[in-house]
Amino acid sequence: MQTSEDWAWWKPVGAASLTWGFWKIYDSELRTPSGQFEPANGDPLALVITYSRDIDADDLLDATVEQWEHLGFSQQQIEAWLPNMEGVWPNVKEGDRLIYVLSQDKGQFFYQPKQGKAEPTGTLNNANLANAFSAIWLSPATAYPSLRLALIGGNSE
């Protein structure tokens, strides 16, 4: 598993902002050790999200479920995953960052307050769950294809 400092030194692959109407929700950046997105290689990656507004942890969890439904995961899978996801995020404030590091089919969450250090908040040891979380942004079937394209550096798989 990666430490909270490892991802910070990785090279950016791409960056994108998620907006909803006139409101920016967050800025996101994909980082890898090589600066390339090569999912077939199983290389580690970090998704760094900097929030532009306050969002409750329950709303983050609800949005995760909605995205998994969009990606076609079954209710049975989602219900099995939810206990692992509850409590991994705090309520976020404007300027806070959530970081997700995926390495060797395991996921690690970090929370970094606007004026603080990144600290681990949870781990996903189930390979299907760990990959399903990153799929929200990185799957070709994502609800936000232009955001995905910008994150992966404008390259198609």
Instruction: Specify the pTM.
Output: 0.92
Q: What is the mean pLDDT of the chain?
A: 92
Asked if the model's pLDDT at residue 3 lies above 60, the reply is no
CA distance 89 to 92: 8
Tell me the pLDDT tens digit for each residue of 138-151.
999 999 999 999 99
Tell me the pLDDT tens digit for each residue of 4-45.
468 999 999 999 999 988 899 999 999 999 999 988 788 899
Question: What residues contact residue 115 under an 8 Å CB cut-off, 6+ apart?
Answer: none
Domain 7-151 has CATH 3.50.70.10: yes
Lowest mean pLDDT among 12-16, 37-41, 50-54, 76-80: 37-41
| Domain limits, the chain | 7-151
* Confidence (pLDDT) at 154: 80
Distance in angstroms between the alpha carbons of the first and the last residue of the chain: 26
